Structure 1
């Protein structure tokens, strides 16, 4: 249903599941386990797995904190998109990586919910992609000291509002890991 012509395929996005990004995140073990499950399913179905890796002054490229968490292992043939902004499309080659693979629908996982996940959801949507958020495969850290809601509330709110995201010719949606389908758009 994407508005992008000739883009029948789905890709799994694994956003910023890096040591320094997720070290203080809510339910990290559960989220990483769910992402690992989705990576295995995507690979078994020949669905592209696209890795997104952030760097900035606090997250130096090549450092231990910049590395993906050890439980998630990227295969050499799986593309990695390097970014410096919260939206994974901004000033990166993500759009061309997806176009080369005929991808018009994204299944989104990773960190952090209230920054790079939300920005990428909206960035993909306004660029014409259908975007499915995996509600139990994204996380964030506790920023209540700065006035933010508790992490579980941030995650629940994002899952709630993204589940109803609609626009002409495309849609969002929120599903659980168990409900993810990489087949043609069927709601999950």
Structure 2
């Protein structure tokens, strides 16, 4: 269905599950556990796992808080994409990494729902990818004390709801639970 010709493959894209990013996130342990299960399933099925790692002025590259959580271990040969913007494609080599692997569909998990997850979902769809959001494997923290009008749970639920209707000519967005996601090689 993707508009990216000759790219029938799927990749699991794990976004920003870094110590400081998810430290105060809603259902942190449950989300990390489901992501770890998806990583194991992807590896067992020879589906590429692509790791995305954010840095900025408040999250210095190489710092302890910048590191991925200990429950998720990257393997040699699995690409790591370093970014400084919300959209994992912007100013990175993510597109090249996916193209090299023949990927036209991505399965998105990670953090923060209302920032990097949403930006990457939209960035992928406009670039021609089919995009599956794993409804119970993305999270955010409660930002109401800084003016957000919704709790973390509400932000997650809203994102799951609106992404279930995402589409563009020749490509689709969908929402599935971790248990429902199919990870099959090209």
Scaled to the shorter chain, the TM-score interval is over 0.9
Q: What is aligned with 1:76?
A: 76
* Cα RMSD (Å): 1.1
Residue 24 in 1 paired to residue 24 in 2? yes
Distance between the aligned counterparts of 2:42 and 2:183, measured in 1? 7
Instruction: Kindly tell me the number of residue pairs found equivalent between the two proteins.
Output: 185
Residue 129 in 1 paired to residue 129 in 2? yes
Shift of residue 183, structure 1, vs aligned partner: 3.1
Distance between the aligned counterparts of 2:86 and 2:168, measured in 1? 22
Distance between the aligned counterparts of 2:2 and 2:55, measured in 1? 30
Shift of residue 166, structure 1, vs aligned partner: 1.3
**TM-score normalised over the length of structure 1:** 0.97
**Aligned with 2:179: secondary structure?**
helix
Shift of residue 184, structure 1, vs aligned partner: 7.7
**Aligned with 1:177: secondary structure?**
coil
Distance between the aligned counterparts of 1:184 and 1:169, measured in 2? 21
Alpha carbons of structure 1 residues 184 and 162: separation in structure 2 relative to 1, 3 Å: farther
Q: Which runs of 4+ in 1 moved over 2 A?
A: none
Residue 120 in 1 paired to residue 120 in 2? yes
**Aligned with 1:174: secondary structure?**
strand
**Aligned with 2:98: secondary structure?**
helix
Shift of residue 147, structure 1, vs aligned partner: 2.5
Q: Is the 8 A contact 2:47 2:184 kept in 1?
A: no
